[in-house]
Structure 1
Amino acid sequence: MKKIQLIALILPLSILMVNCSSAGKGKSAYVEAKKISYETDIKPIITTSCTPCHMPPQGRKEPFQNYEQVKEHITAIIARVKLPQEDRKFMPPVNKKPALTNDQVAVLVQWQQQNMPQ
């Protein structure tokens, strides 16, 4: 009799534990699958961190004024913002703008991985 009671207790608990652990996995997969768009997510980062150097008429570098230009240069942008800050190619220049946060860099990377939706 005790054996049946023990099984009756263990079985629902094991089902509950399996569902709880898979629910956590589902949530993180949902967070990772968030769709990044140029207009909502990328443009504000570029506008804040890359002006005025990459925004004509003041800009003397590759222009990042619109979706097409940023899309064309996204690999180089990501490479430059990931460099150590003491590297002379690091962007944005330390004396002009603060470095992008890890979250901002992750958004750029995720956008590129999602084939850069507009």
Structure 2
Amino acid sequence: MNKFKIIALMLPLAAVLSNCSSAKKNKDYVDVKKITYTNDVKPIITTNCTPCHMPPQGRKEPFENYEQVKTHIGAILERVTLPQDNRKFMPPVNKKPSLTEDQVAVLVNWQKQNMPE
């Protein structure tokens, strides 16, 4: 009879412990890459916003360094996500290809991560 009591007590305990395992992955957890200006954002800006936003040729708001891009990230995101037929869309369709969804996602996630340098 004692074996049955031990088994009866151990089964619920085993079920609880199996659900508390630190080795289990939370299905809601998403490993988000840490995005930085230097490694991720600057190459996108340099490739897609030059020469218009890079002095000395640039005649528009300069985006040549971290502080300038950080200050204007809201406006940058607004312009690169407009419909391409909108006259305010950036970069101009006749000058550069539009940013890819992945490039826009990098900018969005950088902003969400408080724009680390």
Instruction: Sort the TM-score into its range (normalised by shorter chain).
Output: 0.7 to 0.9
Greater C-alpha Rg: 2
| Correspondence 1:52 to 2:54 | no
Equivalent position SS for 1:110? helix
TM-score for the superposition, normalised by structure 1: 0.77
Q: TM-score, normalised by structure 2?
A: 0.78
Task: Write out aligned runs for 1:73-92 (5 A).
Answer: 73-92=72-91
Q: Tell me if 1:111 matches 2:110.
A: yes
**Displaced runs of 4+ in structure 1, greater than 3 A?**
none
* Partner of residue 34, structure 1: 33
The answer to which structure has the higher helix fraction is 1
For residue 70 of structure 1, what is the aligned residue in structure 2? 69
Question: How far did residue 95 of structure 1 move?
Answer: 0.4
Q: Please provide the CA RMSD for this pair.
A: 2.2
SS of equivalent to 1:84: coil
Output one character per residue of 1:68-100: Cα deviation in whole Å (capped at 9) or x when no partner: 000000000000000000000000000000000
Q: Structure 1 regions of 5+ residues with no counterpart?
A: 1-11
Identity level (%): 70
Tell me the amino acid that sits aligned with residue 29 of structure 1: V
Count of residue correspondences: 102
